[in-house]
Structure 1
Amino acid sequence: MNAVAIGPFAFSGDRFSVIAGLIVFMLVGSLLAARVDNRLGTFTTAAALLGIAGARAGHVLVHAESFLQEPLRVLAIWQGGFSPTGGLLGVLLAAVLLWRKAPKATPWAILPLAAGFFVWVVVTTLTDSGTAPRAPGTSYAVLARDETLAIADRKGRPAVLNLWASWCPPCRREMPMMAEIATSNPEVDFLFANQGESRAVIGAYLRQTGVDLETILVDPFSDLSRHYGAIGLPATLFINPDGTLAATHLGEISRETIAERLAAFPSEDRKQTE
């Protein structure tokens, strides 16, 4: 899993590269504002804000039906969900505003944009961990069932593997939603692998919350986190029927992201399981 840890904070590789690029973009803009035209500083601030707002708005519009049911989730940007097209439109709007107020300074706006893009590319390359690990052959006990399960031995079905713990607030927030989606998608195996806790602790949490999960794997030594390189919780992994890793998501996940990832599974594989 491509991820970066800074102290107690963990970032997925794609988010960290965007943050790094944005920071450099703002810094270069501030330097140009001091040396060339102070309106370049205003441009970088406006471009950052409009870009983020546009990217989020674009994502929300694409998934309008889902967000209408829970409008406050529009503000849950920590779950991810941004449209590159919407973000680009926001930056272009900031550039147009700069051109109208300071046409001579507008060409200088290319420098912070180029610097931010360059850093994004470099950090993306550096955080790419290369070939993703295949599903492990280790068997894990299934809670509430007298059996074990090895992720690599599943019968050719796509799977969503969620790594979680009861002490993790984002895990607790997303779990009811994930349980609902799991029920609605019987053609996909949803596996909830608890990391580092005992059967007693897991059972107490489930009784307290009333969350109904069909397949809970007991991983008391967090082997799956090490196998997939998950440096934080929750982590959600989308696994192809052949055991290869299709996609990963570090941190709390949204309903829309899961829907997009499920739709990306090969349709013929999903039909075979129905």
Structure 2
Amino acid sequence: MSRPIARLGAAALPAVLLLGGCTQTSAGDTPRDVPTSAVAPATLAEMKADAGIQDCPASDPTVAPQPNGLPDVAVGCLGGGRDVRLAGLRGTPMLINVWGQWCLPCRQEAPYLTEIANSPHAGLSLIGIDYDDPRPDYAIEWAQLSKWRYPQLADPDRTLAGPLKVAGGPPQTLFVDAEGKVVFRHAGAFTSADQIRDLVRQHLGVKLT
């Protein structure tokens, strides 16, 4: 199967948002007929490096899960790397965005996440989770096209559907404080970067410029 996304430049982004290989029109409509990627792990790792995606963060293997916090579940890193224990992510307020390259609303909000990621955000971490996705190669290409450099986890088997309460499908974004507590959940796509800034300020006490 060809990988058309990788051949598109930034100027083609608006068209991709509407047309690019994605037949879904709402969150949760996973393309079950798409075969699982047969791309070798070494190739995925090379693609990840070329895309400039950061390594997945280290997580504390011993700290106790927080009540109303991130679940005590470990997931892999998109393109290879260390597994991440969600309950062990501590120390910095976080935005955790659950997305899929097959999900049209996820693609529509992508530029706003890029803007936030490129804003001065000392005191805030961004993490993506590529969810219910049979094509990690497409996901890496989409992240590259979107200029996402922040870490990306991978949950191709929907392990987090129950523990992270994403059964309704992506996009969903969790606002997590420095102690690992989920203080707010935004279901659906963001409509602007300013909306994200306002929610970050309101729920995490972090002011983004």
Equivalent position SS for 2:81: coil
Equivalent position SS for 1:223: coil
Equivalent position SS for 1:156: coil
For 2:105 and 2:26, how far apart are their aligned partners in 1? 13
Shift in CA distance, 176/210, structure 1 to aligned 2, threshold 3 Å: same
2:155 to 216, 219, 232: 219
2:130 to 177, 188, 194: 194
Matched, 1:256 2:191: no
Q: How far is the alpha carbon of 1:260 from its aligned partner? A: 1.5
Q: How far is the alpha carbon of 1:265 from its aligned partner? A: 4.3
For 1:205 and 1:182, how far apart are their aligned partners in 2? 15
For 2:156 and 2:199, how far apart are their aligned partners in 1? 28
Matched, 1:147 2:82: yes
For 1:9 and 1:147, how far apart are their aligned partners in 2? 31
Give the percent of matched residue pairs that are identical in Structure 1 and Structure 2: 24
Q: How far is the alpha carbon of 1:251 from its aligned partner? A: 1.0
For 1:155 and 1:206, how far apart are their aligned partners in 2? 25
Give the total of aligned pairs: 140
Contact 1:143 1:216 in 2 (8 A): yes
Query: Structure 2 counterpart of 1:261, which letter?
Result: L
2:108 to 160, 173, 181: 173
In the alignment, structure 1 segments of 5+ residues that lack a partner are: 1-7, 11-131
Q: How far is the alpha carbon of 1:194 from its aligned partner? A: 0.7
For 2:149 and 2:160, how far apart are their aligned partners in 1? 19
Equivalent position SS for 1:226: coil
Contact 2:114 2:146 in 1 (8 A): no
Shift in CA distance, 228/140, structure 1 to aligned 2, threshold 3 Å: closer
Equivalent position SS for 1:205: helix
For 1:265 and 1:147, how far apart are their aligned partners in 2? 29
Shift in CA distance, 241/261, structure 1 to aligned 2, threshold 3 Å: same
Residue 182 of structure 1 corresponds to 117
Contact 1:162 1:235 in 2 (8 A): yes
Residue 177 of structure 2 corresponds to 240
Q: How far is the alpha carbon of 1:161 from its aligned partner? A: 0.8
TM-score (norm 1): 0.45
Q: How far is the alpha carbon of 1:221 from its aligned partner? A: 1.3
Contact 2:26 2:104 in 1 (8 A): no
For 2:122 and 2:113, how far apart are their aligned partners in 1? 13
For 1:210 and 1:181, how far apart are their aligned partners in 2? 12
For 1:183 and 1:149, how far apart are their aligned partners in 2? 24
The superposition leaves residues 7-39 of structure 1 with CA deviations (integer Å, 9 ceiling, x where unpaired) of x978xxxxxxxxxxxxxxxxxxxxxxxxxxxxx
Equivalent position SS for 2:160: helix
- Runs of 4 or more off by more than 6 Å in structure 1? none
Contact 1:195 1:225 in 2 (8 A): no
RMSD: 2.6
Structure number, greater radius of gyration: 1
The superposition leaves residues 126-152 of structure 1 with CA deviations (integer Å, 9 ceiling, x where unpaired) of xxxxxx842022222222452222222
For 2:204 and 2:106, how far apart are their aligned partners in 1? 28
The superposition leaves residues 60-103 of structure 1 with CA deviations (integer Å, 9 ceiling, x where unpaired) of xxxxxxxxxxxxxxxxxxxxxxxxxxxxxxxxxxxxxxxxxxxx
Contact 2:132 2:156 in 1 (8 A): yes
Contact 1:133 1:227 in 2 (8 A): no
In the alignment, structure 2 segments of 5+ residues that lack a partner are: 1-24, 28-66
For 1:264 and 1:217, how far apart are their aligned partners in 2? 26
Residue 87 of structure 1 corresponds to none
Kindly indicate which of the two structures has a greater share of residues assigned to helix.
1
